[in-house]
Structure 1
Amino acid sequence: MPPATTTPTPTSPLLTWWSQRPPAAGAAVMATGILSVALNQTDHETLSRIALALACASWLALAGDFTARLLWDRARWVNEAATPAALTAIAATTVLGTRFTTLGWEPLAKTLLALAALLWPGFLIAVVRHWHPRMSGAVFLGCVATQGLAVLGATLAANESSAWLAHAALVLFWLGLVLYVIALTRFDLRQVVHGAGDHWVAGGALAISALAGSKLIAADSTRLYLWNDDDTSALRKVTVALLILDLAWYAALALAEIARPRLRYDVRRWATVFPMGMTAAATLSVATALDVPWLETPGEVLLWITVAAWLAVSAGALWAYTHPGHSSVSGADATPGATPGTDVTSTTRR
């Protein structure tokens, strides 16, 4: 009988540190990727490409880790695949695909869309089956992953003049909103005050929904004629409402951070940076799609706030790497005795 396969033991401090990262680390790719998108929207192309390179490197590292655990540590892979944070893999992939589309790299963007679409149903079903009351902000990642597909699909539809892709993106857009409403009933509002970072996804999910709406509006043209006047009017109203609700969440969450500062580094802080960047990107995109130029200024202000937050969290991540054991570790590694289906992506600090 052949010996049981075991996970290879990391041979360096860097590999040891990396092997302990929970699925929530995918939010770092999402945060850096959307930062690249927003910098491109404001014509800061050099900075945008630097952020894109960092996001791509992180995505490749996470993809390698995903594959290694699937092959050599199946029990841990199955355990983590049932947690909401596993959906960051899909969201991160769609964010990168959206940025590649703006560079004109449609074949690569289509490949990432196909990969994300292939993973999305299985991961979403596994996660939704384990939803329960009083969850952290990670519960909204079902909406985020779904809207990520809608954003990438609508962006590619506009570039490729593909009506079927735009209509598929529209279906995902409405499904994402349904998932948001359901997730809101499972969200523990106390996380706004006590959460360690991923509570910001409550607003970020609305931001990516507004971004998806703006991309669907922009995808329409006289050549495709995707939506009639009633459809376009409904999309515009819903998109504006989503952006307003997102900005309201942003303000409430920012005030809560001021009232109760949480300065210790936690990997879930990347799930704070992502919604901040997504709000900036959504504001800028809505300004263009709905021809509201005055929104460009607040969008750019939000972008530079995101840059500052990204730098702060990056410094925290570097400090955590150089001072192991002194920072908060999240995910499955942070919750003793966690079992599949429990919400191990965030704990409530009291």
Structure 2
Amino acid sequence: MRRPSSSPVRAWWAQRSPAAGAAVMATGIVSVALHLAGYEILSRITLVLACAAWLGLAAEFVLRLLREHERWISEAATPGALTAVAATTVLGAGFAALGLLRLSEALLALATVLWPVLLVLVVSRWRPRMPGAVFLCCVATEGLALLGATLAAAESTAWLARPAMVLFWFGLVLYVLALFRFDWRQVFEGSGDHWVAGGALAISGLAGSKLLAADSSRLYLWNEDDSGVLRFVTLSLLVLDLAWYVVLLAGEIVRPRLRYDTRRWATVFPLGMTAAATLSASAAVGVPWLEHLGHVLVWVAVAAWLAVGAGALGSARTAWAALPVPEGIRSRARR
């Protein structure tokens, strides 16, 4: 039996769905993109916001596991549950950019423990014609590859880069499998998470660029053939991501969906990830003009983040006002 909430705050927060982790993913990757673009103060502000949201969602995750086990199992089998892994890895990438490597390692370990459990639960319940959240299996896997490659480059650690490479390719396999389950009508009908179809390619491209950056004369991770293939695949992923960007944007123009939905955070995430991937790939694949494009895309992502954030505040205010006030609080208010 579900326990009654002890306060309006607890009651409102308990209504959050597993897909709410997309807000952490979106805020975290916007922070990373701002860092890559050189806007350190804004990057740190958004990272703090992402941390606060992650801590809140992590607390709810644990409470549901301990108190509402059946509900936890039910929600863990939904694609949105994989935002827990993806959000953790993106947050770890943000900390790594600040040089907080021990904290990033802890987040990588946590995400690695969660990943196989949630992935098996989610994939086992795939069905035909799924929304864009189906691509979160790729996003979560590539998130591990991204953070592993980032830490390998920062610490000159070869053993982290090699499993990251395996996860990189495995993530692409999952993307192809998810593509066959995706409902293409979502391009015109989706509530926001359909953008993950492009965001999954973006995080794959970013992971590829980090794998390229991890190589050095000291580590000698990849030979020339390996590096050539990885460079080609990374650039191809970025091109495909930009193609998705155009297609999905056209779908929004043809059929505008302006009402706020929690899944709109899954729109901001691909926008921020595309900006980050473009900036990172500019140096990794040797295409300088991508940096200019990346700077433009960063501000597109920031604008989308602000718009969705405003919608989230309005939605929270409405939901808060609709909640019943517990009897104890009402009684004290009358005194």
TM over 0.5, yes or no? yes
SS at match of 1:68: helix
Find the partner of 2:121 among 102, 117, 126: 126
1:10 to partner: Cα distance: 2.3
Choose which of 295, 318, 326 in structure 2 pairs with 1:300: 295
Q: Distance in 1 between matches of 2:111 and 2:272?
A: 21
Is 2:211 the counterpart of 1:216?
yes
- Change beyond 3 A, Cα 1:308–1:326: farther
2:72 to 77, 89, 98: 77
More helix by share: 2
**1:90-239 paired onto structure 2 within 5 Å:** 90-239=85-234
**1:187-216 deviation line (CA, Å, top 9, x unaligned):** 000000000000000000000000000000
1:19–1:172 CA distance, 2 compared to 1 (3 A): same
Deviations 1:23-53 (A, max 9, x none): 0000000000000000000110000000000
Kindly indicate whether the alpha-carbon contact (under 8 Å) linking 2:27 and 2:46 is maintained by their aligned counterparts in 1.
Answer: yes
Instruction: Kindly report which structure 2 residues correspond to 1:31-50, keeping only aligned pairs within 5 A, or say none.
Output: 31-50=26-45
Would you say the 8 A contact 1:204–1:275 is kept in 2?
yes
1:270 aligns with 2:265: yes
Please point out which of 41, 58, 62 is paired with 1:63. 58
Aligned partners of 2:107, 2:113: CA distance in 1, in Å? 10
Shift of 1:8: 4.2
Unaligned runs of 5+ in 2: 323-335
Residue 50 of structure 1 aligns with an amino acid whose one-letter code is I
Q: CA–CA distance in 2 between the matches of 1:44 and 1:95?
A: 18
* 2:325 counterpart residue number: none
Task: State the match for 2:306 in structure 1.
Answer: 311
CA distance in 2, matches of 1:33, 1:235: 26
Does the residue aligned with 1:76 lie in a helix, a strand or coil? helix
Shift of residue 277, structure 1, vs aligned partner:
0.4
1:127 partner amino acid: V
The residue type paired with residue 223 of structure 1 is R
Match of 2:328 in 1: none
Asked if structure 2 preserves the Cα contact closer than 8 Å seen for 1:133 and 1:187, the reply is yes
What's the TM-score, normalizing by structure 1? 0.90
Give the distance between the partners of 2:74 and 2:117, measured in 1 at CA: 14
Query: How big is the shift at 1:292?
Result: 1.8
Q: Find the counterpart in structure 2 of residue 285 from structure 1.
A: 280
TM-superposed CA distance for 1:67, in Å, is 0.4
Q: Which residue identity is paired with 1:278?
A: M
Gaps of 5+ in 1: 1-5, 328-350
2:103 and 2:286 map into 1 onto residues whose CA distance is 30
How far did residue 326 of structure 1 move?
Answer: 11
Tell whether the 8 Å contact from 1:27 to 1:270 is kept in structure 2 after alignment: yes
Number of residue-to-residue matches in the alignment: 322
* 2:188 alignment partner AA: V
Amino acid at match of 1:194: E
Deviations along 1:72-91, whole A, 9 cap, x unmatched?
01111000000010000000
- Partner letter of residue 255 of structure 1? A
State the distance in 2 between where 1:73 and 1:48 align. Answer: 36
Q: Which amino acid aligns with 2:169?
A: W
**In structure 1, distance between residues paired with 2:67 and 2:202:** 37
Q: Is the 8 A contact 1:270 1:313 kept in 2?
A: yes
**CA RMSD, Structure 1 to Structure 2 (Å):** 1.3
User: 248, 258, 269: which one pairs with 2:243?
Assistant: 248
Q: Does the CA-based 8 Å contact 1:320-1:326 persist in structure 2?
A: no
Q: Which amino acid aligns with 2:256?
A: P
Q: Paired residue for 1:53?
A: 48
- For residue 59 of structure 1, what is the amino acid of its counterpart? W
Q: What is the alpha-carbon distance in structure 1 between the residues aligned to residue 4 and residue 11 of structure 2?
A: 8
Q: TM-score, normalised by structure 2?
A: 0.94
Partner secondary structure for residue 99 of structure 2: coil
Query: Structure 1 counterpart of 2:81, which letter?
Result: A
User: Hey, what's the Cα distance between the residues in 2 that align with 1:319 and 1:92?
Assistant: 23
Distance in 2 between residues matched to 1:115 and 1:15, nearest whole Å: 25
TM-superposed CA distance for 1:325, in Å, is 9.2
Please tell me whether residue 259 in structure 1 is matched to residue 241 in structure 2.
no
Task: Tell me if the contact between 2:12 and 2:320 (Cα under 8 Å) persists in the aligned partners.
Answer: no
Counterparts of 1:325 and 1:246, CA distance in 2? 38
